[in-house]
Chains A and B, each alone.
Chain A
Amino acid sequence: MNKIDLSVNIAGIKLTNPVITASGTFGYGDELADLVQVRNLGAVTTKTITLGPRTGNPPPRICETAGGMLNTIGLQNIGLQRFLDEKLEALAGLGVPVIVSIAGSTFEEYVAITALLNQVKFIAAIELNLSCPNLKKTIICQDEELFSGIIRKTSKIKQHPIIAKLSPQVQDIRRLAALAESSGADALSLVNTFPGMSIDVNTFRPRLSTVTGGLSGPCIKPLALRCVWEAAQSVGIPVIGGGGIASGQDAAEFIIAGASAVSVGTASFVDPDAPSRIAEELREYLKARKLGSLGDIKGKLKL
């Protein structure tokens, strides 16, 4: 009897399947519970939490592109205190591992939020958002000293695994990945969105309120896949790969490239069921090849 095993273990976190919802695409995990079977997911990543609440950017915040979309949400979130007061109970009841994404405007904020989340026993991991391109500051990934310092300090005080989420906007993703590992990260997650823009030719105005924003969706898949492959080659820690994944076949590409798990984001906007459908399609893909587990394809790119 052939039972296909989709389970994965990422830095000690046991997932029943490798599909993780990307930060910023599944709210705080509880809102979509009446629309989607959350239990079919491998794990959920929350919206990025900052120390204080953020109202986000003015509209317009999104715009469609060929095969994708641009966004400039601006890290809108309720802030750490309200997150702790209001969201934990629902998250704890989801029945799947919860990864909390965090960001700070300063080094100290990353450390402070990590320290406070250390008290929350049930969460599976902390994902450091080091790459959001919609803040008006430099992308942390482009400042090696700051990047390494944040990972090193949060890893030192951690009670949960630390996942470093990388931006693709760096000269050498291999170098950034290796630096994250040597600084103490337990796993990597990549990619965040690519910077892009769109102009309305009737009004001569940019379509996004902040002029530029982050591009995501199927159009970035080839770009993201290259980053994930290069990063996976450069580290021994697990890699969560994503960017434009819309099907089980897409997910398989990233796993063959070396990812241990995959991140699904924008696809959920078009189809709320996308993450669990993708897990099922991955199962069908393995079944059709008479393979038993993800280990049979992980990192198996033939060169």
Chain B
Amino acid sequence: MTIRENTQVCPGYYRIVLDAENLARVSCPGQFCMLKVPGAYLRRPLSIYSVSGSSVEFLYKVVGRGTGWLSGLLPGAALEVLGPLGSGYTLDDAISGGKHPLLVAGGTGIASLNFLAERLRKPGTLFYGAKSRTELVCLDNFRKLGWKMELATDDGSTAYRGLVTDVFENFLAGKEVNDYVLYICGPAQMIANTARIAIDFELKGYVSLEEKMACGVGNCQGCAIKYKDSYRMVCKDGPVFKIEDVF
């Protein structure tokens, strides 16, 4: 697939846009792709961030060699992409079930949740945390879609200084949980804390998990996560799981 754009959207975060008609047609929120990056041996898994027309976009943070190389690729260059892979977010609870969607995002977790928001077609509430306001990417997208946003930063550059999970917990107090459906995506610790809060409040929903991957298609059994008495593969059984099944 050809790269149309590959630009930095805020310090350390990049957005890459690909010409990918077939991929665009069949992708669902929560799914990911395995990207072949020159200079790294294994492919890199990235959640699909947005789909419009025949374009597919990924949002990524430069954290190591693989993502470093990716950030250097220029428009016009070809990129080998395998996807879409994995199970996506279940949309029914929000769409036909009428529940108000609550999204809790941290770091690059915003990527898959952005695609989810695009497809839900009805606005909900986004809880999004980062170190500083400059790292809160794609707020414009959510604003355009009419979402309510509850932001939290470590440095207080947004209204609330502290953890996004605190904002989330305060929000839930006194609410009728059956009116809502939760979707979580972000760093492991944030996911664990959010899931614990959800379980305490008996709020149901879905979580997108990550684990180091080799094949991305359920073959190598490398990306195992604990699931009840055994293991499931994040790439094939997930990356989206019901919160009560994995926490």
Residues of A participating in the B interface, judged by any CB pair closer than 8 Å: 24-27, 31-32, 35, 47, 55-69, 71, 73, 76, 217-218, 266, 268-272
Given A62-B223, A67-B41, A270-B41, A55:B215 Cβ within 8 A: no
The 9 closest A-B pairs by CB, nearest first: A62-B222, A269-B215, A269-B214, A55-B230, A64-B42, A61-B222, A73-B221, A59-B224, A62-B214
Question: Which chain B residue shows the least CB distance to A32?
Answer: B219
Instruction: Please pick, from B41, B217, B229, B230, the residue contacting A35 in the complex, using a CB distance under 8 A.
Output: B217
Given A76-B231, A270-B36, A64:B218 Cβ within 8 A: no
20 additional A-B residue pairs with CB within 8 Å, beyond A59-B223, A63-B212, A71-B214: A25-B219, A26-B219, A27-B219, A31-B218, A35-B217, A55-B230, A56-B224, A58-B224, A59-B224, A61-B224, A62-B214, A62-B223, A64-B40, A66-B41, A73-B222, A76-B231, A266-B214, A269-B219, A270-B41, A270-B42
Determine if A56 and B214 form an interchain contact, defined as CB atoms under 8 angstroms apart: no
How far apart sit A66 and B43, CA to CA, in the bound complex (Å)? 13
State whether the Cβ of B24 lies closer than 8 Å to any Cβ in chain A.
no
Given A55-B231, A71-B214, A217-B41, A268:B219 Cβ within 8 A: yes
Residues of B participating in the A interface, judged by any CB pair closer than 8 Å: 36, 40-43, 82, 211-226, 229-231
* Chain B: minimal CB distance from A98 (Å): 16
Determine if B218 and A56 form an interchain contact, defined as CB atoms under 8 angstroms apart: no
Question: Which chain A residue shows the least CB distance to B214?
Answer: A269
Determine if B212 and A60 form an interchain contact, defined as CB atoms under 8 angstroms apart: yes
How far apart sit A62 and B211, CA to CA, in the bound complex (Å)? 9
Q: Which of B216, B221, B229 has the most CB of A within 10 A?
A: B221
* Chain A: minimal CB distance from B204 (Å): 25
Chain A residues whose C-beta falls within 8 Å of the C-beta of B214 in the assembled complex:
62, 69, 71, 266, 269
Instruction: Please pick, from A25, A27, A57, A69, the residue contacting B41 in the complex, using a CB distance under 8 A.
Output: A69
Chain B residues whose C-beta falls within 8 Å of the C-beta of A47 in the assembled complex:
221
Chain B residues whose C-beta falls within 8 Å of the C-beta of A66 in the assembled complex:
41
Given A55-B230, A73-B222, A76-B231, A32:B42 Cβ within 8 A: no
Instruction: Please pick, from A56, A63, A68, the residue contacting B231 in the complex, using a CB distance under 8 A.
Output: A56
Chain B residues whose C-beta falls within 8 Å of the C-beta of A73 in the assembled complex:
220-222
* Chain A: minimal CB distance from B46 (Å): 15
* Chain A: minimal CB distance from B210 (Å): 11
Determine if A62 and B220 form an interchain contact, defined as CB atoms under 8 angstroms apart: yes
Given A59-B211, A60-B211, A63-B212, A27:B218 Cβ within 8 A: yes
